[in-house]
Amino acid sequence: MKTLVWVEHDNASLKDATLATVTAASKLGEVHLLVAGSGCRAVAEAAAQIAGVGKVHLADNAAYEHGLAENAAPLIADLMGHHDAFLAPATTTGKNIAPRVAALLDVMQISDIISVEGEKTFTRPIYAGNAIATVESSDAKLVITVRGTAFEKAAATGGSAAIEDVAGPGDAGLSSFVGAEIAKSERPELTSAKIIVSGGRALKDGPTFEEYIMPLADKLGAAVGASRAAVDSGYVPNDYQVGQTGKIVAPEVYIAVGISGAIQHLAGMKDSKTIIAINKDEDAPIFQVADIGLVADLFNAVPELTGKL
């Protein structure tokens, strides 16, 4: 089987989410990559070095600069003339583009797979991760999004794939990019961080969240996350949200501070290797999944912890 993998990037560097998707694709067959962007040859060169990649298709055109689904989907649908499966990371970019590709190909997409069980058989979480479905596709071609935390990352180096330029249909004339407010942070990215410190509603407000969570995260070199309650209350921006409808993370260590542990939050972090919870309510559901729990008032415990590390 020949697979085509969407390379997630910002026109300058390749995003980690791509590497787990390459691993999922390699379980199906030969791996080809698609780098669609503008002035993104450096990304294609980096992609060509990913271990196990057979070929890199490079579509370098202003129409592909911002990953607009209206422009990217027809390009991918064309390339699917000689590929059997399209896989994209289940990021907001992948989730935006892949179903549009699937509909153009008249294929039912398989969303957010967590394992490859056979050529056409996959598992995926449903009901916010409260159940796991094993599904088999009957379509001739496959369109799949891949949950990054469920697959090992392919090695970023060791390969030497050829880069082939592809033209693609260009601008569909339906949509345009206006602007972005992308948070700049010195801290690691949530979805690839080894350690995450997350805060919940108990942090009270934005300044308090900043005062208690950030120093602990900085001490540990950790990324900062938050529960939906903390995001909805405006303590931190939406891109901090960990949970069913936010980001799915699986770091080595997840430290939940003042988070009760609603199902929707657990769905986003329960695959973390070690979960540590600090909460003053000893009956909080978070303790049912935590490897290490500390029943304490976070306003005393967190500064003490930060000080002693």
Partner 1 sequence: MKILVPVKRVIDYNVKPRVKADGSGVDLANVKMSMNPFDEIAVEEAIRLKEAGSAEEIVAVSIGPAKAQETLRTALAMGADRAILVQTDDEVEPLAVAKILKAIVDEETPGLVILGKQAIDDDSNQTGQMLAALLGRPQGTFASKVVIEGDSVSVTREVDGGLETVKLAMPAIVTTDLRLNEPRYASLPNIMKAKKKPLDNKTPADYGVETAPRLKTLKVSEPPVRQAGIKVEDVDALVAKLKEMGVA
Report the residue number, 48 or 290, with the smaller CB distance to partner 1: 290
Strands 253-257, 274-279: pairing is parallel
Q: How far is the CB of 302 from partner 1 (least distance, A)?
A: 9
Strands 195-199, 142-146: pairing is unpaired
Report the residue number, 125 or 168, with the smaller CB distance to partner 1: 125
Cα–Cα distance for residue pair 299/212, rounded to 1 Å: 7
In contact, 227 and 200? CB cutoff 8 Å: yes
Q: How far is the CB of 164 from partner 1 (least distance, A)?
A: 26
**Which H, E and C letters describe 231-297, residue by residue?**
HHCCCCCHHHEECCCCECCCCCEEEEECCCCCHHHHHHHCCCCEEEEEECCCCCHHHHCCCEEEECC
Q: How far is the CB of 32 from partner 1 (least distance, A)?
A: 22
Report the residue number, 159 or 200, with the smaller CB distance to partner 1: 200
- 226 conformational bin, left if phi > 0, alpha if psi -120 to 50, beta if neither: beta
Q: How far is the CB of 57 from partner 1 (least distance, A)?
A: 21
Report the residue number, 164 or 300, with the smaller CB distance to partner 1: 300
Q: Report helix, strand or coil for 230.
A: helix
| HSE of 110, CA atoms in CB hemisphere, 13 A | 27
Report the residue number, 27 or 55, with the smaller CB distance to partner 1: 27
Q: How far is the CB of 54 from partner 1 (least distance, A)?
A: 28
Report the residue number, 3 or 241, with the smaller CB distance to partner 1: 241
Q: How far is the CB of 270 from partner 1 (least distance, A)?
A: 6
Q: How far is the CB of 47 from partner 1 (least distance, A)?
A: 19
Report the residue number, 21 or 159, with the smaller CB distance to partner 1: 21
Amino acid symbol at 26:
S
| HSE of 9, CA atoms in CB hemisphere, 13 A | 28
Q: How distant, in Å, are the alpha carbons of 53, 54, 116 from that of 278?
A: 43, 47, 36
Q: How far is the CB of 185 from partner 1 (least distance, A)?
A: 10
Cα–Cα distance for residue pair 182/254, rounded to 1 Å: 24
Report the residue number, 51 or 295, with the smaller CB distance to partner 1: 295
Burial 47-67 (b: 16+ CB within 10 A, else e): bbbbbebebbbbbbbebbbbb
In the beta sheet, which residues pair with residue 37?
60
